[in-house]
Structure 1
Amino acid sequence: MRYLWTVIWSFLLSFLISYVLSSMGGATLPFDQVLVLTVIFSVAIFLLGGALKEETE
């Protein structure tokens, strides 16, 4: 379930960033860039979450 929420939040943040930057530039919203950013954010979060996880004994 946490992976699903990670992907959902990554998509929402990617959509927000792409919307704001395309609006500032006066261009249309590139949905393919939203999906690429979603994948990048999700992979980065999964890798950082695994690397920073504390080991309990």
Structure 2
Amino acid sequence: MQYFWTVFWSFILTHMLTYVVSSMIGTGYDLNTANILSVAVTILILIVPAILPDEPVENTHH
């Protein structure tokens, strides 16, 4: 269920961002570009937590 909501929200927010940016620069909204960006954002969101360390940081005294 966690992956579903990640895909859902990244799809919605990326399409919204693509629409707003294309409107600001005066070009047409491209659905294919938004879909490709949404897949890239979803993959990035799912990979970043796997890369980050989970262990607590040791307190070193100098």
Give me the CA root mean square deviation: 1.4
Q: Percent identity?
A: 36
Q: TM-score scaled to structure 1, two decimals? A: 0.82
List runs of 5+ in structure 1 lacking aligned partners: none
CA distance in 2 between counterparts of 1:6 and 1:53 reads 21
Q: TM-score scaled to structure 2, two decimals? A: 0.76
Matching residue of 1:2: 2
**Superposed structure 1 runs of 4+ greater than 6 Å apart:** none
Q: Which amino acid aligns with 1:31?
A: L
Structure number with bigger Rg: 2
List runs of 5+ in structure 2 lacking aligned partners: 56-62
